[in-house]
Structure 1
């Protein structure tokens, strides 16, 4: 008999999140779709229930970039459910071409959505994760972190609180890259922090998935053309949604923690120090390696301290 799990998926009203919600619902799990736009999400909820027949699928409001929204969600969730088995941080902000934007908490919007929000949500839901017999957390990363194979690349944390909102060199693409690397580093740190509780924390490096028309319309015109071309080659979101389900429910991954998986469900390895040219190319395109930057203890401790202070002070 299959274990029936209580699952929270952020950003579950479109793309990979929607595909994952459908897969979990079709397997009979309790699914909480944590979404920002309720009006747009309600038809998706109805569609999933209609197609799967799973009445245990529900919708709850969450703006992962807002600390108050996260606190409200976690309070409501804990009042409605007795535990949490699976937490999937799927929602992300990636509007390439946009100018510097601040969240409601006066934080750079990309990091607020992709890093600080997921960390706060995870910590607030920790008591309910502890109550699960098989608690698992999955963070959605991206192959965009490959830019950190460049040894000169670093996460710049000196403009994440609106210090220089008019910075003309600001790039959402670069910030998205840094935020996804930060999420991988926090994945490794959280795995260590939560090991004593038996909570497994892993990441999935996503190489891309076909974007919906609605998502494409969010992207600025110049980037939209590039995204449209990429869409021709990206796999359907159902492929990644199925990976979410396997990594979070399959027995073969029950002991894995502090790992970054690729789209072949393989555990990725840290890159080779000071590689030659051929090794550099292999690292960059093989999908088997992640940048050594993520394993640097000093980098991870600096990010952890900074992120915890941001949460504490907001």
Structure 2
């Protein structure tokens, strides 16, 4: 890290909240709200230029200087490992990890593979977040009460029978669908939340998941969107939550004393427990998906020990 933007309070005297994808949308709004609550917020962003611009806005709107920026590409495991090493060398503990970063471009027709050879949605939305969490478990355990918040989508409600394709999660030998790829990755994230919660029983660290509904986005960000979809999205956005409204749920789940011992829960935008699909809650299915996942990220056996030694 360019340790970086850190130049005010002693970082060991503040609770640390790491938010991936904190340069825009809900992540940025949550960074502002959590910084206002006295946390040191670490923004994990892919693009340095956009990250630095957001950093200044977050500092200004939160009236806090306790905001840092670190660069990571969540689609690349090498970048995630490098980030985790820099983070643990710079901060003694981690109190809250919010895995907010994700990609979903409805206009994408063809699958894209990263330079490491993984399908980009599977890599960014699932593999990267799992690997980062595993690499930071020790940092979370050094907090009096570490919290891991994974982000899923309310769109899964419309796909109750969606499963993670254990044979071909990256669409190498089947027709690619950006929608199926996205919701498959989010299903896997829900399952990781449950699996991790079971694994962390007896520790002070909790693992929960947030179900995000429609949130307003700038449609101009998608210049290739067909006209009918642009019209549909514009209408949909009128009824969607603002990023600031959704960020209140992030903030509550990250900071509320009411959540100290709550783990393995799937929360909606009103921070109420809801059920995920029957498939995603089945322990055998969870084990199968996590075995697949750990193979992808190079972890076998006790994941934390493997993560530290790889």
Which category describes the TM-score, using the shorter chain as reference length? 0.7 to 0.9
1:296 and 2:273 are equivalent in the alignment: no
SS at 2:136's partner residue?
A: helix
Distance of aligned partners of 1:126 and 1:297 in 2 relative to their CA distance in 1, 3 Å threshold: same
**Separation of aligned partners in 2, 1:210 and 1:261:** 20
**Separation of aligned partners in 2, 1:304 and 1:295:** 13
Q: Judge conservation of contact 1:107–1:162 (CA < 8 Å) in 2.
A: no
In the TM superposition, what are the counterparts of 1:33-112 in structure 2 within 5 Å?
33-98=43-108, 99-112=110-123
Q: Judge conservation of contact 2:219–2:234 (CA < 8 Å) in 1.
A: no
- 1:13 equivalent among 11, 18, 23: 23
**Separation of aligned partners in 2, 1:147 and 1:181:** 12
Q: Judge conservation of contact 2:152–2:187 (CA < 8 Å) in 1.
A: yes
SS at 2:222's partner residue?
A: helix
Deviations 1:80-105 (A, max 9, x none): 11100000000001111311111222
TM-score where L is the length of structure 2: 0.87
Q: Which residue of 1 aligns with 2:160?
A: 149
**Separation of aligned partners in 1, 2:169 and 2:277:** 23
In the TM superposition, what are the counterparts of 1:134-173 in structure 2 within 5 Å?
134-150=145-161, 153-161=162-170, 163-164=172-173, 167=174, 169-173=175-179
CA root-mean-square deviation = 1.9
In structure 1, the gaps of 5 or more residues are 270-289
SS at 1:32's partner residue?
A: strand
TM-score where L is the length of structure 1: 0.86
Deviation of residue 208 (structure 1)? 1.6
Q: Which residue of 1 aligns with 2:209?
A: 203
Deviations 1:168-199 (A, max 9, x none): x3111111111111110110001111223221
**Separation of aligned partners in 2, 1:179 and 1:82:** 31
- 1:246 equivalent among 229, 246, 252: 252
Aligned residues: 286
**Separation of aligned partners in 2, 1:305 and 1:225:** 42
Deviations 1:23-53 (A, max 9, x none): 1111221000000011111111011112223
**Separation of aligned partners in 2, 1:180 and 1:211:** 19
**Separation of aligned partners in 1, 2:291 and 2:206:** 21
Q: Judge conservation of contact 2:215–2:242 (CA < 8 Å) in 1.
A: yes
